[in-house]
Structure 1
Amino acid sequence: MSHAPKPAPPPVQTESDATADPTAPAAPAAADTPAASASVRAAQRQARAVRWMVGVGLAIVVAIGLVLLFLLTLATNNRELYERHYPWLFGLNVLVAVLLLLVLVWMAARLGLRLRRKRFGSRLLFKLAGIFGLVGLVPGLLIYIVSYQFVTRSIESWFDVKVEGALAAGLSLARVSLDAMANDMAAKTRSASAQLAQVPDAAAGLVLERIRDQLGATDVVLWSAAGRPLASAGQSRFELNPERPSAAQLRLAHEQRMTTQIEGLDDLPPGVTAPPPANVKVLVLVSSPSVGLLVEPRYLQASIPLPPALIANAIAVQEANREYQERALARDGLRRMYVGTLTLSLFLAVFGAVVLAVLLGNQLVRPLLVLAEGVREVGAGNLSPKAALQGKDELGGLTRSFALMTQQLADARAAVERSMGEVDAARTQLQTILDNLTAGVLVLDAQGTMLSANPGASRILRLPLTEHLDQPLAQVAGLAGLAAAVQAQFDALQAEHAASDAPNAPNASDARPAGHWQQPFELHDAAGGTVQHPISLILRGAVLPGGAHLLVFDDITDIASAQRAQAWGEVARRLAHEIKNPLTPIQLSAERLAMKLEGKLAPPEQAIVAKSVKTIVEQVDAMKRLVNEFRNYARLPSAELQPLDLNALVSELLQLYGEENATVPVQADLDPRCPPIAGDAQQLRQVVHNLLQNAQDATLQAASGQAPPPPVRIVTRWNESSRRVRLNVLDSGPGFAQHILQRAFEPYVTTKPRGTGLGLAVVKKIADEHGARIELSNRVEEGVVRGAQVSLSFATTVSVAS
Structure 2
Amino acid sequence: MSTQPRDTPASQAARRAKAVRWAVGVIAALVTAVGLVLMFLLALSTNNRTLYEENYARLFGINVVVAVLLSLVLAWVIFRLLRRLRQGKFGSRLLIKLAAIFALVGVVPGVLVYFVSYQFVSRSIESWFDVKVEGALDAGLNLGRATLDSLSADLMNKTRGASNQLADVPDTSAGLVLERIRDQLGATDVVLWTGAGQLIAGAGASRFQLNPERPTPQQFRQARADRAVAHIEGLDETPAAQGAQPPASVRALALVQRPGFEFNTEPRFLQVVQPLPPAVVANALAVQEANREYQERSLARDGLRRMYIGTLTLCLFLAVFGAVLLAVLFGNGLARPLLVLADGVRQVAAGDLRPTAVLQGKDELGGLTRSFAVMTQQLADARAAVEKTVGELDAARGNLQTILDNLTSGVIVLDDTGRVLSTNPGATRVLRAPLAAYEGQPFADVPGLATFAQSVQQQFDDFEVERAQHGLDHWQHAFELNAGNSGMSQDAISIVARGAELPGAARLLVFDDISEIVSAQRAQAWGEVARRLAHEIKNPLTPIQLSAERLEMKLSGKVPAPEQAILTKSVKTIVDQVDAMKRLVNEFRDYARLPAADLKPVDLNGLVTDVLQLYGHENAPNALHCELDPRCPPIRGDAQQIRQVIHNLLQNAQDAAEATAAQGRHGEVVVRTRLGDSGRRVRLTVQDSGPGFAENILKRAFEPYVTTKSKGTGLGLAVVKKIADEHGARIELSNRIVDGAVAGAQVSLSFALAGEPQVALAHTDDSKPSTA
Q: TM-score, normalised by structure 1?
A: 0.61
Q: Does residue 142 of the first structure (1) align with residue 116 of the second (2)? A: yes
Q: Does residue 63 of the first structure (1) align with residue 42 of the second (2)? A: no
Q: Does residue 792 of the first structure (1) align with residue 748 of the second (2)? A: yes
Q: CA deviation at 1:687?
A: 1.9
Residue 546 of structure 2: aligned partner: none
Among 350, 359, 364, the alignment partner of 2:325 is 359
Residue 237 of structure 2: aligned partner: 267
Q: Does residue 454 of the first structure (1) align with residue 410 of the second (2)? A: no
Residue 605 of structure 1: aligned partner: none
Q: Does residue 764 of the first structure (1) align with residue 761 of the second (2)? A: no
DSSP-derived class of the 1:451 partner: strand
Residue 551 of structure 1: aligned partner: 509
Q: CA deviation at 1:730?
A: 5.4
Q: Does residue 121 of the first structure (1) align with residue 78 of the second (2)? A: no
Residue 638 of structure 1: aligned partner: 599
CA–CA distance in structure 1, aligned partners of residues 36 and 613 of structure 2 = 121
Q: Which range moved further: 628-637 or 413-422?
A: 413-422
Asked if the contact 2:125–2:305 (Cα under 8 Å) also holds between the matched residues in 1, the reply is yes
1:3-31 per-residue CA deviation (whole Å, 9 max, x = no partner) reads: x444737x8xxxxxxxxxxxxxxxxxx4x
Residue type of the alignment partner of 1:166: G
Q: CA deviation at 1:356?
A: 3.4
Residue type of the alignment partner of 2:324: V
Asked if the contact 1:279–1:306 (Cα under 8 Å) also holds between the matched residues in 2, the reply is yes
DSSP-derived class of the 1:268 partner: coil
- Counterparts of 1:472-621 in structure 2 under 5 Å? 473=443, 479=449, 482-483=452-453, 486-487=456-457, 489-491=459-461, 493-499=463-469, 513=472, 515-517=473-475, 519=476, 521=478, 523=480, 525=482, 531-532=489-490, 535-558=493-516
Among 5, 9, 19, the alignment partner of 1:8 is 5
Q: CA deviation at 1:435?
A: 3.4
CA–CA distance in structure 1, aligned partners of residues 358 and 652 of structure 2 = 89
Asked if the contact 1:451–1:470 (Cα under 8 Å) also holds between the matched residues in 2, the reply is yes
Asked if the contact 1:478–1:527 (Cα under 8 Å) also holds between the matched residues in 2, the reply is no
1:545-566 per-residue CA deviation (whole Å, 9 max, x = no partner) reads: 2222222223344466668889
1:88-146 per-residue CA deviation (whole Å, 9 max, x = no partner) reads: 11221122223333444555666666777888629747964567544422331132123
CA–CA distance in structure 2, aligned partners of residues 624 and 49 of structure 1 = 104
Asked if the contact 2:730–2:751 (Cα under 8 Å) also holds between the matched residues in 1, the reply is no
DSSP-derived class of the 1:660 partner: coil
Of all paired residues, the percent bearing the same amino acid is 43
Asked if the contact 2:488–2:700 (Cα under 8 Å) also holds between the matched residues in 1, the reply is no
DSSP-derived class of the 2:293 partner: helix
Structure 1: gaps of 5 or more residues: 12-29, 31-36, 192-196, 285-298, 501-511, 588-613
1:322-379 per-residue CA deviation (whole Å, 9 max, x = no partner) reads: 434x52xx52x32112210222023213323333343344356555698589869968
- Counterparts of 1:142-181 in structure 2 under 5 Å? 142-157=116-131, 159-170=133-144, 172-173=146-147
- Counterparts of 1:214-253 in structure 2 under 5 Å? none
Residue type of the alignment partner of 1:771: G
Asked if the contact 2:629–2:675 (Cα under 8 Å) also holds between the matched residues in 1, the reply is no
Alignment CA distance shift 1:433-1:674 (3 Å): farther
Q: Does residue 443 of the first structure (1) align with residue 413 of the second (2)? A: yes
Alignment CA distance shift 1:282-1:418 (3 Å): farther
CA RMSD of aligned residues (A): 7.0
Among 285, 295, 307, the alignment partner of 1:341 is 307
Asked if the contact 2:483–2:489 (Cα under 8 Å) also holds between the matched residues in 1, the reply is yes
DSSP-derived class of the 1:633 partner: coil
Q: CA deviation at 1:459?
A: 1.9
Residue type of the alignment partner of 2:598: P
CA–CA distance in structure 1, aligned partners of residues 496 and 83 of structure 2 = 74
Q: CA deviation at 1:148?
A: 0.8
CA–CA distance in structure 2, aligned partners of residues 166 and 709 of structure 1 = 148
Asked if the contact 1:726–1:793 (Cα under 8 Å) also holds between the matched residues in 2, the reply is yes
Among 71, 82, 91, the alignment partner of 2:61 is 91
1:461-508 per-residue CA deviation (whole Å, 9 max, x = no partner) reads: 3334445555655565665665466445534543354246xxxxxxxx
Residue 507 of structure 1: aligned partner: none
CA–CA distance in structure 2, aligned partners of residues 157 and 146 of structure 1 = 19
CA–CA distance in structure 2, aligned partners of residues 99 and 221 of structure 1 = 71
CA–CA distance in structure 2, aligned partners of residues 97 and 749 of structure 1 = 107
Asked if the contact 1:370–1:387 (Cα under 8 Å) also holds between the matched residues in 2, the reply is no
CA–CA distance in structure 1, aligned partners of residues 188 and 607 of structure 2 = 165
Residue type of the alignment partner of 2:122: Y
Residue 731 of structure 2: aligned partner: 774
CA–CA distance in structure 2, aligned partners of residues 340 and 91 of structure 1 = 12
Asked if the contact 1:639–1:679 (Cα under 8 Å) also holds between the matched residues in 2, the reply is yes
Alignment CA distance shift 1:633-1:81 (3 Å): same
Q: CA deviation at 1:246?
A: 9.1
Residue type of the alignment partner of 1:345: T
DSSP-derived class of the 1:348 partner: helix
Residue type of the alignment partner of 1:53: A
Residue 661 of structure 1: aligned partner: 619
CA–CA distance in structure 2, aligned partners of residues 788 and 401 of structure 1 = 81
Q: TM-score, normalised by structure 2?
A: 0.63
CA–CA distance in structure 2, aligned partners of residues 268 and 342 of structure 1 = 31
Asked if the contact 1:100–1:351 (Cα under 8 Å) also holds between the matched residues in 2, the reply is yes
Q: CA deviation at 1:715?
A: 5.3
Among 603, 608, 627, the alignment partner of 1:650 is 608
Q: Does residue 320 of the first structure (1) align with residue 290 of the second (2)? A: yes
Q: Which range moved further: 550-559 or 100-109?
A: 100-109
CA–CA distance in structure 1, aligned partners of residues 698 and 203 of structure 2 = 176
Greater RCO (Cα-Cα under 8 Å, separation 6 or more): 1
Asked if the contact 2:597–2:727 (Cα under 8 Å) also holds between the matched residues in 1, the reply is no
CA–CA distance in structure 1, aligned partners of residues 104 and 462 of structure 2 = 80
Q: CA deviation at 1:738?
A: 8.3
Residue 34 of structure 1: aligned partner: none
CA–CA distance in structure 1, aligned partners of residues 618 and 120 of structure 2 = 138
1:259-297 per-residue CA deviation (whole Å, 9 max, x = no partner) reads: 99999766215995344688999999xxxxxxxxxxxxx
Q: Which range moved further: 55-64 or 362-371?
A: 362-371
Residue type of the alignment partner of 2:126: T
Q: Which range moved further: 78-87 or 133-142?
A: 133-142
Asked if the contact 1:699–1:709 (Cα under 8 Å) also holds between the matched residues in 2, the reply is no
